[in-house]
Structure 1
Amino acid sequence: MDRRSFIKKAGTAGAGAAAATTLAAPALAQESPQITWRLTSSFPKSLDTIFGAAELMADHVRAATDGKFEIQVFAAGEIVPGLQALDAVSENTVEMCHTCSYYYWGKDTAYQLGTATPLTLNARMQNAWFTAGGGMEMLNEFYNSNGVHGFVCGNTGAQMGGWFRKEINTVEDLDGLKMRIGGFAGKILAKLGVSPQLIAGGDIYPALEKGTIDATEWVGPYDDQKLGFNKVAKYYYYPGWWEGGAALHSFVNLEKYNELPKHYQAILSDANSAANTETLGNYDVKNPKAVRELVNNGAVLRPFNQQILDACYKAAKEVYEEESAANPNFKKIYDSQVAYAREAYLWQQLSEYTFDTYMMLQQRADNI
């Protein structure tokens, strides 16, 4: 082959390669389209840890897609009120929300089980059940039937039992108490005479200050300190037996989720997982300092005594039996959680509990 013939053929091949490259670019662009979604939160911006979980998730999505998939995060009330976040997603007012599944248990009691099942799982067990125990698959069968797809997006860890204007020494002290409390815990406590009130986070302080309610639970020391509950109620009880590991969720309109490219769906899943881990870490770092500051500023720590916990446990079991008999969705998910809890607590007695107990003794002895 002479030199001129070689150059001519090489030039033709190069032009073909260039043309192929030119043709490929639009296809790649279509695979990673520019998408902007709105997310409405159930939480105010002032609660940087719980509200921030959605921002963490959105940041991960943005970084992984080089800005092609943008999720704009709006605080409670900026688009819809905090307790209407899920409705806004199912009705396609917005593509996404960040909320607590149990806020919507009035629609179907199975929603409760996505956040926290009172006196059942702690945070580590909750995450294990979601990811390795088939929990999210089971929950999404339920969520999908309601037009949304769910992701775990944050966990607070075991919560505090809340702020009370008076001491709670007996089960009888609960009778007639007006308490802000979310989800199934209110139904359980109602069996003991409590009048449960579901109030969005930003509205709790004025209700407690004005005496509209006698007590409130929210999350734990860091968030409670930001909301200033210690200024209007003195007694700070623990543990929050109704939320041993409260999970937050982001919900996506199911139709919008199914329209996403598969790799965007995977990125969204990974971003929620990252936010879930980071949020629990944030609470575990911030709560120890906050509880010390609250006590130094006059908060009085009190444990719920054994009599009260036993009464609450008995009432909870009654509620679970009632709901399992009435709601197949509830029964299916609840039975799965309880079966896992039996095994998990057996193992944690040998591992986490013995280790934690020993190290707590060292902490009390100032040996750490």
Structure 2
Amino acid sequence: MLPTLERVKILFSSLPAHGHTFPLLPLAIAAKAAGHEITYATWETFHPVVAALGFETVHAGGDMATEFKRVVGDRTLQDMDPEEVTGAAMRVFGEVLPRQAVADLLPLFRERHFDLVVNESAAFGAAIAAKLAGIPAVAHGISKPTSLAHLPALKDILPTLAAEFGVELDGTNRLGFGGPYLDIYPESLQDKETLAEYATRVPLRPVAFAAPGELPAAVTQGGGKLIYLTLGTAFGNPAVLREAIDGLAATGHRVLVAAGPTVDLSALGEPPANVAIESWVPQAEVLPHTDLVVHHGGSGTTLGAAAAGVRQLFVPQGADQFTNAETFTTAGAAKQLLGDAVTAAALTEAATDLLADDTAAKIVAALAEEIATMPSPTDIAARLPEWADQQ
């Protein structure tokens, strides 16, 4: 057996969205700190973020927002029913973006030597390109791993996509691509069927990442409890935010709102005196100061709040958010409001109840302890050479 490499050349790759890129950055940072050479492949909209961390950046794939626009036309997510949203997502994630990524990465892999590829679990194109080039690949989870039995559309798309490039799939591990799967979701919240399906699963502690910034005054000033409200970076909905602002303000607690890049602040009106509205906040730094997070259910916010030991109130809007909301609510760590139930009065009641719920507080604390015991990005960075190309 050849000796394990001490320093390796690693290409990280993710789709160009906060929820797809930010979960990988703590491991990439730890790998660079361990002395590995890091190249990051994604669409150029995220190059400034990763370049600021000291990584070489290369172009890969397409722009997610542009491709969704081409698929759905002038409609918004709010105009589409769940089946239409799923169909559009499967086409963009399972067909369009993977083909673009393979077209960009395969020539790069043939021109330059990489010992290992770390691709986020939805970056299928990077996984296929690595397989075609004979480079070992590690998948990095970004959400709750779900059994393929519950994802029939994806189960049908992946074999077709792989066959297009002459790649054979492993029928079970890591959505069919084999190799280690870095799982950032707490094991206690997963079912045995899925855990068995991901036979190469390696736990990895989720670490919240955000570009550093100054904490808003609403965090550092004032007494009482702090409620943090966000619908994330892609699912901003002014109507939902206005309803939530009114409902949470009625609790009498301080409320900090991160409206996100898709929402015009003027559409939210003049906030009540106990509400502060920002376009963006350094979420990773805000969460430890927060008593309750009211949010859409994106995995970054969900796991970041869980790691910080914060109770959560979900108002899911799409994608994996309904899964996260149901998982945490079933565990007793959260509440959820869906569809027409998202009213100011319901939000006031649910937020007040959660903040007074001692049972939920104990469950949340236990989840935070479980996450704290998961291997850290530094721990996993030390294992990357054993998964790398030794030729």
Same fold (TM over 0.5): no
Normalized per residue, which structure has more helix? 1
What is the TM-score when the length of structure 1 is the normalising length? Answer: 0.26
What is the TM-score when the length of structure 2 is the normalising length? Answer: 0.25
Give the greater-gyration-radius structure (CA).
Answer: 1
Q: Whose RCO is larger (CA < 8 A, sep 6+)?
A: 1
